Amino acid sequence: MFIVLEGIDGTGKSTQVQLLADWFRSQGREVVTSREPTDQPWGKKLRESAATGRLSPEDELEYFLKDRKQHIDELIRPALDAGKVVILDRYYFSTMAYQGSRGFNPREIRAKNEAFAPRPDHLFILDLDVDAARERIGARGDTTNEFEKRDSLAKCREIFLGLAEEPFVHVIDTNRPIAEVQASLREALQ
């Protein structure tokens, strides 16, 4: 099973990925968790740019595609082929949203990715109001980076919510306790 958690920064994706992985493991399932951008060379360049200043839109998109191709070849496909549950914190839907907020056509980004990237069985959009998300970012001790500016997050949230009509997509309200959010994820999977 291939599961992806998406949403703007501050919605609790990393926490929910770990809780979901623990739940599957408690059922005896083998689970692989990962995130994008990865810790591989292209992903590292992208992560560095969040703190040092964003790359040009064209370079940023190219780096995301290269990072994702490597991620799929080296981790995602082998794990799925071995029958493992794969749970990702971000995937190409984030590229659609964040690069879409920079002026690229989200549909074109999706088409480029789906030419090589497997579609998840379940896509969870963890949704939270932009101001509440920015408060959470500050509460965890972080300062907002180049990807977390208010206007950009608002555009990203709009793009994420635009996916809600698809049958494999579940929108989960994260403006509630962590355990309730996790219960909603598990309920959708059952």
Annotated binding site: 7-14
Closest CA to 45 of 70, 19, 28: 70
Annotated binding-site members for ATP: 7-14
Helix, strand or coil, per DSSP, at residue 58:
helix
Residue whose tokens read 């074109």? 108
CA-based radius of gyration for the chain = 16
Can you read off the two tokens belonging to residue 43?
A: 């992903």
Do 146 and 49 contact (CB within 8 A), yes or no?
Answer: yes
d(CA 174, CA 170): 12
Beta 122-127 vs 31-35: how paired, if at all? unpaired
Do 189 and 2 contact (CB within 8 A), yes or no?
Answer: no
Beta bridge partners of 124: 5, 170
d(CA 53, CA 77): 32
